[in-house]
Amino acid sequence: MIRMAPIATTSAFSGTGLTLPVWVAAAARAAALVLAGSAAPTSVDLRIPSEQGLRRVQVNSAALLNGGERSLAISICDPGQGLDLTRGLEIWVLVSRSLSLQNGLRIRAGEGVGRLEQDGSLCISGFARELLELNLRDLMPVLGGMDVEVVLPRGRELAQRTSNSAFGVVDGLALIGTQAEVQTSASPDQLQLARDQLRDLTESSGFAGRLTLVIGENGLDLAQQLGLAAQQPLLKSGNWIGPLLVAAAEAGVRELLVLGYHGKLIKLAGGIFHTHHHLADARLEVLAALAVQEGIGMESVRALLQAASIEEAWCWFQAHDAVQAMGLWMAVAQAVERRSETYLKRYGCTGMRVGAALFNRDRQLRWAGPEGELMLRHCGVQRHQQAAD
């Protein structure tokens, strides 16, 4: 007998939306509950890492499959207000018993879920994995080991509108995120949150006037791997980079190292200081303009403009002329520094040095401007070197 929950049409929360891992965990728990013999729920109470109490999250349907050997639950992602491509995304989670796991949990990437290109493994953040383990653990005495397969029917399609492939994630959307609530990087609320964090950092007793501004989760992760966090505070930025530069200068920061993916920071080299793709792009045009300034031939400039992406342009130029390619991207980093200085002067801020450090899709720290190079050396960090350097 198949038991189906009625279709839910509204989220259990209003205001702030919830990240994709939360909706995956909700569907996983609903599927596990049905497999354990419970009636199909219309909502589940989730435990969130580092939070007190429970959060109630709706699910759309849940059912037993294959004569009760497997179960399926579906949730619909609601990221709240703002621009988010996961809005309305259907999430399917299939759960089955697995005696071989012995009260363990295996999470598998089904159709539409991102995998790491290097080894084909599921691309999942520590928070997302912990969230699943935390909300399935109490059912293991009943079910034993569980095999959990996540399916995002539109994941492969939507992933083409993200920068996932630039970071080696293929076949779908990654199950990433570091918290339950959505922080929209283009929203004024996100800017205010970053300003509040900046104030806390600069007002702390041990603050020495140096700060690293990291762009996005990949920048934050790389900064921690490089040991920058042990040398000076880290502040994660969304897309409001320009206002944060001004806020940092006004807060007394003397040296600011800006660390980010080259496909994002190149916008600053073109004078674009709010970097959300819905507002401005022009990355290939900026790259072509800098190539002209560097004296690169027009045939190569035209080839750069015809590339489908910044990453494709870099790969083509690297294969065509590795020395010129390296020189061009070092010029991009220097332009980020120069444009940042001009931006700060526009708002009367002249007491802060800005250094730029850029990494590629393999998360290798490859390029830096003159100021960025000095700041990296001060922190004991070296760029990834190749023969073309």
pLDDT in tens, 201-243: 999 988 999 999 998 777 888 898 899 989 999 998 878 889 8
User: Within 13 Å, how many C-alpha atoms sit on residue 270's CB side?
Assistant: 21
Q: Is the pLDDT of residue 105 over 70?
A: yes
Same domain (yes/no): 87, 115? yes
Q: Are 253 and 204 in contact (CB under 8 A)?
A: no
Question: End of a domain among 115, 142, 170?
Answer: 170
50: CB partners within 8 A, 6+ apart? none
For CA atoms 287, 292, 294, 295, the dihedral sign is positive
- What φ, ψ does residue 237 adopt, rounded to 5°? -105, 150
| Mean per-residue pLDDT, 186-209 | 83
Q: From residue 95, how far is each of 106, 147, 173 by CA, in Å?
A: 10, 6, 20
Q: Is the pLDDT of residue 148 over 60?
A: yes
Number of domains in the chain: 2
Same domain (yes/no): 153, 298? no
Residues of the domain holding 104: 20-170
- What φ, ψ does residue 96 adopt, rounded to 5°? -140, 155
Question: End of a domain among 118, 138, 170?
Answer: 170
Residue 193: pLDDT band with limits 50, 70, 90: confident
Residue 15: pLDDT band with limits 50, 70, 90: very low
Query: What pTM was computed for the model?
Result: 0.62
The one-character DSSP state at 137 is G
pLDDT digits (tens, 9 = 90+) for 338-364: 999 999 999 889 889 999 999 987 788
Select the more confidently predicted residue: 171 or 309: 171
Residue 186: pLDDT band with limits 50, 70, 90: very low
Round to whole Å and give the CA distance between 107 and 277. 32
Round to whole Å and give the CA distance between 304 and 289. 10
Task: Give pLDDT, residue 283.
Answer: 87
* DSSP string computed for 336-374: HHHHHHHHHHHTT--S-EEEEEEE-TT--EEEE-HHHHH
Q: Are 285 and 378 in contact (CB under 8 A)?
A: no
| CATH code: domain of residue 98 | 3.30.2110.10
Same domain (yes/no): 201, 331? yes
* Residue 208, domain member (yes or no): yes
Same domain (yes/no): 201, 243? yes
335: CB partners within 8 A, 6+ apart? 268, 269, 290, 369
Same domain (yes/no): 136, 228? no
* Residue 52, domain member (yes or no): yes
